[in-house]
Amino acid sequence: MENNILDNNETNSSGSGRDASIPREIRRFNWGAFFFTWIWGLFNNSFLTLINLGYNVLVVILAFFAGIIAGIAGVSDAAFGLLLLVIQVLVGLGDLILRIWFGARGNVWAWRNKRWKDTAHFNDIQRIWAIVSLVFMLLYVFAFVGIIAAMAIPTLMTSTSSAKNRVVMLRSVNSINQAALMNEALENKCIMTSSGLAKCFGARMTGNISGNTITESYGTEFSFYGDGRCRNKNTCYVLIDVKRAGGTDSAKLHLYSDRGYIKVNDEDLRTLTAKYRK
């Protein structure tokens, strides 16, 4: 508590250093000093706030040398990351303490160190600093939220797109398997060539057939490849290509002929079902 508090009828002693009497009406928290620290201090002849600038420069220097020492000592990336996190917390706490100190003492320092016309003039100038501080704080918050959103939204969209693709892929794999199970439609009438397989499966699937490809309305292409016999489980297959919601995914299902019927490789079916149900 200051002993020399100026009453309204006393002489204006601003700018006279420690001898200045502090008016009661200016004894309040200074938001300009809190937010702008040494920048506010330069305009208000309160050079003690330069401590904040020196503090931040010192932190940068110490962090630089900490990185060099950690590299020489062979500290792991995880350990160094934890060290940086601890340093950031401590630095942030120290910076906050300085800012609160500046805000609490700002008006006293500014009144003592600079000549003002009167308390109204002083309060008007400090009010401008407070308004600018508020605008700066809002811009900072918006910028911070914008950066976080810019980082999070693409990840969220990718995750959402990936989830949709998995659903579509499961449905597509099931469509092939269900068509293969309709044995009456796929017996010896099915020619085991690429275009023949597409025509054969297209009879039990929705979508447009073009050559060896079936294109479904929900954005999936089934491209069939056959060697004419499909007796070996690795020679004939269908390539499923999902292009949906900004994402692309592909899967291969091998097909083979068994006693006149075309079938889906069970191992492929289990593998793909397990993969896309995750």
Please provide residue 269's backbone torsions phi and psi, each rounded to the nearest 5 degrees.
Answer: -65, -45
DSSP H or E stretch at residue 129: helix 119-181
Cβ atoms 262, 185 nearer than 8 A: no
Strand runs labelled E in the chain: 5-6, 22-23, 192-193, 208-210, 213-215, 220-225, 227-228, 236-244, 247-258, 261-264
pLDDT at 53: 93
Sign of the CA dihedral running 130, 131, 136, 137 = positive
Cβ atoms 223, 213 nearer than 8 A: yes
Please provide residue 216's backbone torsions phi and psi, each rounded to the nearest 5 degrees.
Answer: -85, 155
Per DSSP, the three-state class of 110 is helix
Region of 17 please: left (phi>0), alpha (psi -120 to 50) or beta: left
Which amino acid does the sequence have at 234? Answer: N
Report field, pTM of the whole predicted structure over 0.75: no
Domain boundaries, the chain: 5-116, 163-276
- HSE, side-chain direction, 13 A CA sphere, residue 112: 19
pLDDT at 272: 85
What are 110's two structure tokens? 């500014």
Cβ atoms 233, 218 nearer than 8 A: no
Tokens 């934890």 locate to 82
Give dist(CA 75, CA 59) in Å, integer.
20
pLDDT at 31: 95
What are 232's two structure tokens? 């070996």
pLDDT at 151: 82
Which amino acid does the sequence have at 150? Answer: A
In which residue ranges of the chain is pLDDT below 50?
A: 1-3, 5-9, 184-185
